Amino acid sequence: MTERFPAIEVFNRRRAGVLLHPTALPGTNGKLGLSARQFVDFLADAGMTVWQVLPTGPTHQDLSPYQSLSAHAGNPALIDLSELIESGLVTQESPGEPRSLLLAKAAERLINGQYTATPQLNPGTWKQFVSDHANWLENYALFMAIRESFPGSVWTEWPRDLRLRSPSALTEFATQNKNALERFRVEQFLFHIQWQVLRQYARDREVLLFGDIPIFVAHDSADVWANPELFKLDGEGQPTVVAGVPPDYFSPDGQYWGNPVYDWTAMAADGYQWWISRLKCQRELFDLLRIDHFRGLQAYWEIPADKPKAVNGYWVPGPGEAFLKVCFEKLPDLPLVAENLGLIGEDVEQLRYRFRLPGMTVIQFGFDGSPANPHLLRNHQEHDLVYTGTHDNDTTLGWYQSLDEPTRNLVNQEFNISEADIASQPLPIIKAAMSSVSRLVIVPMQDLLGLGSEARFNTPGTTENNWIWQLPSHYWERVSASGIREIVTSNGR
């Protein structure tokens, strides 16, 4: 099946990696400095050569990385303020001040040239960043500054001239709020600089970065406000239809996501430029990219906004082959993975195969009793990725402990283990995943640490206690990196 492999560096050999979102790293000053470098060192010591993260955009108050304020921007909460001390953008005397104030002062110093330049951070790189990203950066800065001026509101509640983007109103606002716009631009620059330093640090240690792209975007986002013609909205900016998924075995009522739906006809008219720009931005950050809900490119579940229940939805054809063809024409080295979990029809798989996109299997999903289940170890394919679990699953230990007795017996038989074995470190299911024929195996960090349900990162369909789990300090003392490396290398990874 190797003929299906795209020409992507990550798949040039058997590899193992870890799933951990940067927000879960230890530290209070931000995550993209020492804390991230220490994690890269841990991965390298453990023989792991891929670090997978969730979407890295700025979030709403619910902290979900899948409902971002921008599909292009980086999350300024990840900026490590201590990394800005050496350049003078943050002073040694100010670490106790509120983070927002420190970033505002850093922006002012950068704009006024009151800092010590470095090869990465200097007037030339600042000017180049603003120029290279102007197609989204200016709208993002405007959106965030207006949003700040009307706290607690979504953009459809703003004054009409700002909501509908009157050129004169936007010009007047930008003139009166110049400092705020500069602050939001500088935040993005600092995120970009710190991410690029981290990416090079990882590459120097042979660790590649793996990102995630939600197929849909949040309604309350710079993307929808700045490009209303690309979404199915009414004259006031409200969605006429929204996205979700239909009822199925796992969700009898279906799922109502509420994201606005793309007007794919309008997007096709300009050659999918918004998507091309989005993919370019993510390509600057990552060596591999997953498209979440890939099946939505073949067909998506559209729900009338005035009938907000998933059961009222219907299938609508997606842009499919025409869209992907343009993406690969514009970005020939685009390193995509298709998230193809759930009830996926043959038409979706054929679309994936036509563009030689790797898919996903999850060990936890293999035990419905069917010998043909693609998630069973014996049914894995070389061209796919295998996970012990994902960010939406319970940890592997928590999952095992919650199984009913018949399913637990199936798991024990599959991996030749007993209940006494399951909590041993590393988990026996990690060892099994490493033996898969799949070229890339990804293990959530919680599984490497052998943690239970208390370390679950997200529970779909709930709004409490998600996205907040933190990696314990000195985590490297809780797991043997050399022991993990031995398993990785013994499986040719």
Which residues belong to the active site? 292, 339, 392
Residue 259 three-state SS: strand
Which DSSP string corresponds to 357-403? ---EEEGGGG-SS-TT-TTSGGG--TTSEEES--TTSPPHHHHHHHS
CA within 13 Å, CB half, 102: 24
Question: In the structure encoding, which two tokens stand for residue 53, read together?
Answer: 């993260």
* Whole-angstrom distance, CA of residue 371 vs CA of residue 177: 62
Q: Extract the tokens encoding 391.
A: 């960010």
The CA distances from residue 231 to 4, 107, 169, 278, in Å, are 33, 33, 23, 15
DSSP string, 424-435: SSS-HHHHHHHT
Per DSSP, the three-state class of 455 is helix
Cα separation, 40 vs 63, whole angstroms: 24
Q: What's the Cα-to-Cα distance from 149 to each of 144, 154, 156, rounded to whole Å? A: 9, 11, 14
Query: CA 72, CA 217: separation in Å to the nearest integer?
Result: 11
Q: How far apart are CA 196 and CA 202, in angstroms?
A: 10
Provide the phi-psi class of 314: left if phi over 0, else alpha when psi is between -120 and 50, else beta: beta
Give the chain's count of helices (H) and strands (E). 17, 12
C-alpha distances out from residue 71 to 145, 200, 222, Å? 17, 23, 8
Q: How many CB atoms lie within 10 A of CB 143?
A: 24
Short-list 292, 291, 284, 287, CA closest to 210: 287
Tokens 């930008």: give the residue: 174
| Cα separation values, 185 from 114, 134, 170, 294, 461, Å | 17, 10, 16, 31, 34
